[in-house]
Structures are given as C-alpha cells and as structure tokens.
Amino acid sequence: MLKYLKLPTRKVIEMFNMKVVQPARLDPETKFKFRCHKGIKCFTKCCSNIDIMLTPYDILRMKNRLKMSSEEFLEKHTFSKIDEKSSHPYAYLKMSRDEKRSCPFLVVPDGCTIYTDRPVSCRYYPVGQATLKKNMGEGIVHEEFYFFVKEPHCLGYEENTEWTVESWRKDQESSLYDEMNREWKSVLMRRDIPGGKSVLDPKKQTQFYMSSYDLDKFKRYVFESKFLDIFDIDKDEIEKIRTDEVALMKLGFKYLKYLMMMEEALKVKPEVVKAKKAKE
C-alpha cells in the first residue's frame, strides 16, 4: 500500500473525506474539463466546512495581502495542531463560527476577497496533490503526484473548459507555490525524530513552528540572538534576508533541516565547533 504525506491540498488523504477522492493517479498531461465562475450554482460551496492546512508561502502571501505581521496573522486567522504521527506543529486556517464554518475571506456573492493570494490548497482544487516517498536504491526520492477530488455539490466538472493537470497548475499558480514550499515539504517527509526520540520535544516544536510560519519572529531570532555567531552564513545572504522575505523563509527551511538533523543545510562556524569540542 502506498503511504501518502498529508500535505495541504484541501484535506489531502487523512484530511479528506475519502469518498470524494478519485482513486486514479494522474500525471501532468492528464486531461479534464472544469470551470468555476460566479454564474455556476455551486459557486463558493467548496469554501465552507473544510480544514485547510497552511504552508509557509501561504502565510507569507496572505499576511502581506492583509498588511499584517506574521504574528498578527497567526494570532487572528490560524490555530495550531500537533500531528499525532510526526509530532510536527502545523498551522490551520481558522474558519468562521457560522453554521457552515465558512472561510473568513469569503464574501457572498462575490467570492474570495484575497483570491490572488489564496492558499495553495484552494488553487489546486479540484485537483489534489500529494507526495510519495520512494527508496530508489541510490537514495530517497520525493515523487509528487495528483488525483481528482469530486465533491457532490461541485458542478465545475460539467463545464467545457479543457485543461491538463500541468496547465491547471500553471494557470492557478500552484506550481509557484509548490516550488516555494518544496524544501519545507521534504522536512515533513522525515519520519524518524532526531536523537532517537518518539516525538519532538516542546522546544523543537516551538522552533519548528517559528521557522515554518512566523517570519517576523524568525527574523528577530536571526538578528537578535547568537544565530549569526553560530552559523556560517554568507554576507550577501545576510543582507538579502533583511529585506527579502522569500530568502528569509528559505533560510528558515535550512534551519529546520538542521534542527531535524536531515542534512548539513547550515554550517556551524569552525571556531564554534572547536570551542564545543574543547568543553567536552
């Protein structure tokens, strides 16, 4: 049986009602017909009673669209949940407290008020995306694949606009989001916990959450702690992360890999290593 990573593409696998997930695995050239528009009877029905797990790039785009700090956005629009299997803390979009559990950015009849900065899970719909971890002999490969989501209320499949999975991804900017989040997703694929523990300890969970989602707090951590005294980071990169939030986000992914002992994504300065050995 294939094991799928629970990634943020609507309610992928464990987050989805499996009755609406089509079992066929799709490739980028798979063709389908679909169109969503204001004139369709089911317009915005897919924006209620859902659980949307957010990615780091989702939050970057949404908080900037709303002109909020990452801390303000996380406090107002998300809640966190510890994944039982990985012990990773994830951020979910906080839905409205109405009967339908509607998206807070949904306005009827106009639709999404942050449409051009909506989460990647909303962009992919009605296509789902997941990642399969495969051992190819020469190393581990993370293979992305796709599937259809067909909810009873959705009439978009009855429209005549034709797509391939790949053309849909490009049109919806899903491919951009995948590129931005790919390193983060590779961390999520990690099954063993550093130090042989069964779960991440609370300190690492806090650092995981900060490095993934809270860019403003992570930036203060980089520049106001001993972070730059410990890690050997190029001067040009240091200057870039002062103003470039994408570069800062990607540094956060490197730090996550360091925390999870996945690879030498960040190098500790030789003098720090030497001083540590001297104390041992």
What pTM did the predictor assign?
A: 0.88
Is residue 6 in some structural domain? no
Nearest to 4 by CA among 131, 129, 127: 131
Is residue 107 in some structural domain? yes
Q: Give residue 203's domain range.
A: 194-279
Q: Who's near 76: CB < 8 A, 6+ residues apart? A: 68, 94
Backbone angles phi, psi at 83, to 5 degrees: -70, 130
Last residue of a domain, one of 154, 188, 222: 188
pLDDT for res 261: 85
Does residue 183 sit in the same domain as residue 224? no
CA–CA distance, 36 with 195 (Å, rounded to integer): 48
Asked if residue 136 lies in contact with residue 125, where contact means CB atoms within 8 angstroms, the answer is no
Is residue 152 in some structural domain? yes
Does residue 234 sit in the same domain as residue 173? no
Is residue 8 in some structural domain? no
Length of the chain: 280
Please measure the distance between the N-terminal and C-terminal CA atoms of the chain and give it in whole angstroms.
46
Nearest to 168 by CA among 5, 22, 36, 4: 36
Give 23-57 pLDDT, tens digit per residue: 889 999 999 999 999 999 999 999 999 899 999 99
Show the tokens assigned to 172: 């919806």
pLDDT for res 23: 85
pLDDT for res 20: 87
Does residue 253 sit in the same domain as residue 177? no
Question: Which amino acid makes up residue 170?
Answer: K
Give 154-213 pLDDT, tens digit per residue: 999 999 999 999 999 999 999 999 999 999 998 887 766 666 666 889 999 999 999 999
